[in-house]
Amino acid sequence: MDVLIPVGPRDVEVAELCVRSVQRHVAGVGRIFLLCREDPGISGVTWVSEGVFPFSQADVARRIRNEQRAGWYLQQLMKLYFQRVVSEVNDRLLVADADTLFLRPCVFHQGGRPLFNYGDEYHAPYFEHMKRLHPDLVRSSPHSGIAHGMPLTRAWVDELFVMIESYLQAPLWQMFLQVISPAHRAGSGASEYEIYFHHCMRRHADEVILRRLNWRNVRGAADLAGDSPDFVSLHWHLRQEPVDQAFWRSRILGER
């Protein structure tokens, strides 16, 4: 299993912590690909430029008519397209958000089957968006696929592309953006994790294993209070500044 970590401008300061946590605590990792605008110079990873995709942030901004939110939708599309534009990547790919830090051993495949983590979020516009992409893209589980990471299977991603592109007769990235409701372009109008998760739960439920990891969103070190979840996410809009690098390296690597 290879790992993809997309790094946006707000997550550069936590990207190396994410990489070290994947190396230390995620089982079965092959290569780690770091996807960002410029090479951050982190050892042990392969940097991939955003320029390899058939779309850019400017393309996204033009189509949604919102420059401030373009980067958020861009990273969703890059996750879906990654195995299609980087030929050497494994057929099994774990996508991990750059603000996610693994603190305990985590497994994402078992007996040849992907293990899906899940959350409790429900945001109606996500499901309205996916159904506009294809009538079979519906909520297929009471759980949410938004859990800051997802194991992707190349054949299932390809299946999703064929399904949407044959139905709408246009490239997926274009239609993904086109069918976002104008009322939600400046906010949260689509979710690649929900699309993939519920597609798999509808078409491949007997081939995946659902299990919930112990995870939470945190502002900083104080939120752990001695607890030891499997992973945490340090979202930039919640994050306490500055990030306590020494604390998180200690929790990830056992350094003092």
User: DSSP 3-state helix, strand, coil percentages of the chain (rounded to 5)?
Assistant: 45, 20, 40
pLDDT (mean) for 120-139: 97
**pLDDT above 80 for 241:** no
pLDDT value of residue 215: 93
Total count of domains within the chain:
1
Q: Residue 212, by phi and psi: left (phi above 0), alpha (psi -120 to 50) or beta?
A: beta
Domain range spanning residue 198? 2-253
User: Letter for the amino acid at 25?
Assistant: H
Query: What length is written for the chain?
Result: 256
pLDDT value of residue 104: 95
176 touches 72 (CB < 8 A): no
Confidence of residue 255 (pLDDT cuts 50, 70, 90): low
Give the tens place of pLDDT for each residue, 14-31. Answer: 999 999 999 999 999 999
Omega prior to 40 cis, within 30 of 0: no
**pLDDT above 60 for 256:** no
pLDDT (mean) for 97-123: 96
Lowest mean pLDDT among 16-30, 51-65, 176-190, 220-234: 220-234
pLDDT (mean) for 67-75: 94
Give the tens place of pLDDT for each residue, 199-218. Answer: 999 999 999 999 999 999 99
Name which residue leads in pLDDT, 186 or 2: 2
